[in-house]
Amino acid sequence: MKTALTSPAVLVFFPIGIPLSRTPRCTCIKISDRSINPRSLEKLEVIPASQSCPRVEIIATMKKNGEKRCLNPDSKTIKNLVKAISKERSKRSP
């Protein structure tokens, strides 16, 4: 019987959807400075800084194995890669 009474009490103190921690949560823990061949990319995500993560994150998904790599947004090579892909996409869209 005690178990049944404890569970609702826990729900009252920890409502669903409210984070328990106020510390920023970023997707990327390790950041790579390695350059990447654009042909080997399946997807490139640029996640802007937000309240949950104070830094810009760039996540590359590889075609071959679906591996996700976090890239250094301050790297000149990565900046050029993002520019080139953005330029290519803008040419494709009307």
Share of residues in the chain with pLDDT > 70 (%): 72
Distance of alpha carbon 43 from alpha carbon 81, whole angstroms: 12
Model confidence over 31-63: pLDDT tens digits?
988 878 888 999 999 999 998 899 999 999 999
pLDDT at position 18 over 80: no
Q: Name the pTM for this structure.
A: 0.67
Which residue ranges form the domains of the chain, and what is each CATH number? 22-92 (2.40.50.40)
Q: Map residue 6 onto helix, strand or coil.
A: helix
* 53 in Cβ contact with 47 (< 8 Å): yes
Q: What's the pLDDT band for 22 if we cut at 50, 70, 90?
A: low
Of 51, 57, 44, whose CA–CA distance to 84 is shortest?
44
